[in-house]
Amino acid sequence: MSYWISRSFLYSIVILLVVLGIGCVFQVVDTGNDLTDLSVITDPPLQGTSDQITGVLVNIGFSGTEIGCDLAESDPVGTRRSCNTGVVHLGLEESTGRVVDLDGVSCSGQEVLVRTEEGVQMEYETTNCAYQIGDRYQVEGKMGQLLDQWDHGTQVEEYIMYNPIITSL
């Protein structure tokens, strides 16, 4: 009887692993059919090729603490209050308006609330960073495109620069 339980237990583990897909390796291929295309990211161009873009360094994301912060309604325009600390993820905005994610480029940062005439605006300041948000840079690397990306219910095109080499202008 104990042999049957051990064998049954072993089969259960194998079935669980198969269902979870553990140990299975597969490659999703871009078929070009938008209705069935399951690929998440295009492969970067072949080794030895490189792309070059120029633009302004921008914040494309912030991850960090989630402290609830606010400014008082009585605070005058221009009031600034440091809030959450974390990591600022950086991208480059080209003159065409296209924003390219710079793969792996991020800096320690601070979320800052700023009172404006319209209300409260969030800004992100980098600390101990080799790059300055708002400055112009040239970036060389391998361009890829993230497929099937959505923002507030609208499909968007997102680009990423792999192995970016950043030069100040």
* Residue 26 covered by a domain: no
pLDDT, average across residues 57-84:
93
Q: In 3D, which of 88, 100, 94, 89 has the Cα closest to residue 157?
A: 100
Per-residue pLDDT at 134 exceeds 60? yes
H or E segment to which residue 14 belongs? helix 2-20
* Residue 23 covered by a domain: no
Per-residue pLDDT at 8 exceeds 70? no
Model pLDDT, residue 150: 84
* Residue 140 covered by a domain: yes
* Residue 122 covered by a domain: yes
* Residue 11 covered by a domain: no
* Residue 67 covered by a domain: yes
The residue ranking higher by pLDDT, 2 or 112, is: 112
pTM: 0.64
* Residue 31 covered by a domain: no
* Residue 35 covered by a domain: no
In this prediction, residue 154 has a pLDDT band, given cuts at 50, 70 and 90, of confident
pLDDT, average across residues 102-114:
95
Domain around 77: 51-168
- Which burial class, exposed, middle or buried, applies to 55 when counting CB atoms under 10 A from its CB (0-12, 13-18, 19+)? buried
The residue ranking higher by pLDDT, 99 or 12, is: 99
Q: In this predicted structure, which of 16-25, 86-95, 122-131 has the lowest mean pLDDT? A: 16-25
In degrees rounded to 5, what are phi and psi of residue 131?
-125, 155
In degrees rounded to 5, what are phi and psi of residue 29?
-110, 135
Per-residue pLDDT at 163 exceeds 90? yes
The residue ranking higher by pLDDT, 38 or 66, is: 66
Number of domains in the chain: 1
